[in-house]
Every structure is written in structure tokens, then in C-alpha cells.
Homo-oligomer: A and B are copies of this chain.
Amino acid sequence: MVASNCIGIVSAQRAIFDTPFTFRSGAVLTRYELVYETYGTLNADKSNAILVCHALSGHHHVAGYYADDPKNTGWWDNMIGPGKPVDTNKFFVIGLNNLGGCNGSTGPSSIAPLADKPYGASFPVVTVEDWVESQARLADMLGIKQFAAVMGGSLGGMQALQWSLSFPERVRHVLAIACAPHLTAENIAFNDVARNAILTDPDFHGGNYYEHGVVPTRGLRLARMLGHITYLSDDAMADKFGRSLRSGKLGYNYDIEFEIESYLRYQGDKFAAYFDANTYLLMTKALDYFDPARACGDNLDKAFAAARADYLVLSFSTDWRFSPERSREIVNALLHNRRNVSYAEIASTHGHDSFLMQNEHYHEVMRTYLERVAKEVAV
């Protein structure tokens, strides 16, 4: 049974861009495609659009389900739908698969126009700024001059923040959830281990594994296992798995023994079976690079000087990947620039993953904020 307030059947659409796109790195794509979905109805003056940006492993299928695959509900379906915090009776919501992704948008596994083979290693390293630029082109195509809101969690939250810096006049509200103004050395270190797992997998072939008919499964699996440790909280792991043994006794070998091992290996295997390793590399690099303060002498206050949006910043008490302290850095910089900021630290045991979870307080804060946004919008 699908809940009555599910958006219901949705379908993916495809936008084709034939104007060359220049990345921050200087690399150029002569054409690219973005896969996206929309929910709700765009109003007459096109003022009720909300852009949802995805995180590391996300994509365009944010809410609802496909007619031919009813069990595959969107990754943020608990948040978005009729009567939900992001109310599709009021808002026109857009989800897309980012440039460089592996869910239909142009990425490393796409066929490069002239080479007649997948881009592989030749696909440009993409930054949060690049994504925002490419998303703005999608907005242009849809005739949306200004978003009512841009929102996202984690890496998605960074894109939402960047929107208000790259296009201050094109976004009225930014909802930045469980994110940070930049990665710490420790954050980068985890990403670097994950990347090295992929880069040193003999099946990686310098990124051109498609041509060899193999996939760097081992590396991608390790990367995901490691990622999962940082998505959960120590307490959540202790509560869920503790030191429980699968068979009740020690095996004195290297098979799965503890429940936590079973969970991690399962998550790693599942992910490695469908996600593209090159996309994983790109995503981690975009995370590492995001740092709006860098161009302003590491002064985050200065970085936000151009911002014109209002902000909702949310963090989760047990998130140690991007802790509440990191969100407060963002809030402080915004306050120094006299922006309207709402901030809440949500109590949750689920660590960084909390932003994807059903949580009454979290969803109420989102609902209340977006009800205010909806009042500014002529339906």
C-alpha cells in the first residue's frame, strides 16, 4: 500500500543542452543531458518552484513511484508530496540527476559524442558551482527565473547554499540541511581513502573500465562501507548492532561474525552493484572542493556578502560527519550579513543519515518554514 499522501505515479524527463558547458576546471562539454522529475503544478507566474538537490548517491527520483516499478519510491518521499512538508499541492518541485551522475544524466558512463565510447576518465571533475550552473540552465529551459526555494541535505545542502551565492536573485529561500561550509581535513581524509580504494582496484583501469568489460566492484564496495560508518552515529550503531554475533559465538576466521559486519558488507555489495565508480569519485571531489570562503581569504562572512536569500539551516545532534557546529558556522556567517536565518538542531540518534529519516520535529520545522514560503507565492 502506498500512503494516501504519496505523489503517486511519476515519470522521468530529459533535458538536452546543446550549448557548450565550461566547467570550473576549464574543461568543456559540447552537449549534455539532465534527467529530471517534477511534482505538482507550476503556477502562472512561475514563482512556486522548489529545486531539490541530491547528495552523494542521490538522483532525480525524489518522490512518487514509477508505473512499471511501484516499489521504487523516491529517496525523499517522506518529505515531498501532497500535504507533506514540501507540499506538492502548493509547490512545483524539481528533482534532477546531477551532471556527472550515473542515473541518466550525462556522466562518465555516457558515450562521449566524438569518441564513440564512454567518457570514463575523460569526464571533467565537477564542482558544486558547476552543478548550480547546470541547474540554472535547466531552470531557464523550464522558464523559472527565480526559485521559491532551493533545498538539499549534505552535498545537496551545499548546492542550495551555492545557489544563493552564484545566483543571489534567483532563489528566495535556501534550505540547507546537515551540511557544512567546507570539509574538514578528517572529512577529506575519509574521502581520500574511499577514492584510493577505487583508484587502486585493478579493475579500475585508470577510469576506463567500461572498455574492459569490468567494474571496480571491490573498491566501490569498500568506499561505500566506509561511507556508511560516517553516515551513522556511534550510538546508533551501538543500539542497532552492538557486539552481537550472527551465530552467537566466535568463529576464529574472517567470515562475517558481528552483525555490524553483516550490515556493512551488505550495504557495500548492494551499492557496488548499481553505482558507477567514476561518479563516486566525482561526488567526493565536489565535496572536497566546496569551500565558498576560499576565494575570500577563508572568510565565510565575506563569502556570503552577496547572498540575498532567506535561510533555514538544520543540523542533527548525532551527526559527526557534518556536526551541528558546522551548521552554526554557516548561521553565524549569515547573521553577520544580516540575512534572515532560522536554525534548529534536531535531536536524532541516526547521525548524518537523519536528514533522510522520518522525524517529527524535523518534519514540523520543515513544514512550518515552507508554509511561510507558500504564503509568499500566488497559487
List the interface of chain A (C-beta within 8 A of B): 23-27, 124-125, 182-186, 188-190, 192-193, 195-197, 199-202, 218, 221-222, 225-226, 228-229, 232, 234, 237-238, 240-243, 250, 252-254, 257-261, 264-265, 268, 281, 285, 288-289, 291, 294
Q: Are A261 and B222 in contact (CB under 8 A)?
A: no
Q: Name the one of B237, B250, B254, B260 contacting A199, with C-beta atoms under 8 angstroms.
A: B254
Contacts of A197 in B (CB 8 A): 197, 222
Query: A282 — nearest CB in chain B belongs to which residue?
Result: B254
Contacts of A289 in B (CB 8 A): 250
Q: Are B238 and A189 in contact (CB under 8 A)?
A: no
List 4 other contacts, CB 8 Å, given A185-B237, A186-B229: A125-B252, A193-B229, A200-B221, A243-B291
Number of copies: 2
Q: From residue A121, how far is it (CB to closest CB) to chain B in Å?
A: 9
Assess A264 versus B221: contact at CB under 8 Å? Given A184-B234, A254-B199, A289-B250: no
Helix, strand, loop or mixed for chain A's interface? helix
Q: From residue A245, how far is it (CB to closest CB) to chain B in Å?
A: 9
Q: From residue A240, how far is it (CB to closest CB) to chain B in Å?
A: 8
Q: From residue A200, how far is it (CB to closest CB) to chain B in Å?
A: 4
Assess A185 versus B238: contact at CB under 8 Å? Given A196-B225, A226-B193, A258-B288: yes
Contacts of A195 in B (CB 8 A): 254
Q: From residue A29, how far is it (CB to closest CB) to chain B in Å?
A: 14
* Distance A253 CA – B24 CA, assembled complex (angstroms): 12
Q: Are A222 and B243 in contact (CB under 8 A)?
A: no
Q: Which of A125, A201, A222, A291 has the most CB of B within 10 A?
A: A222
* Distance A318 CA – B197 CA, assembled complex (angstroms): 28
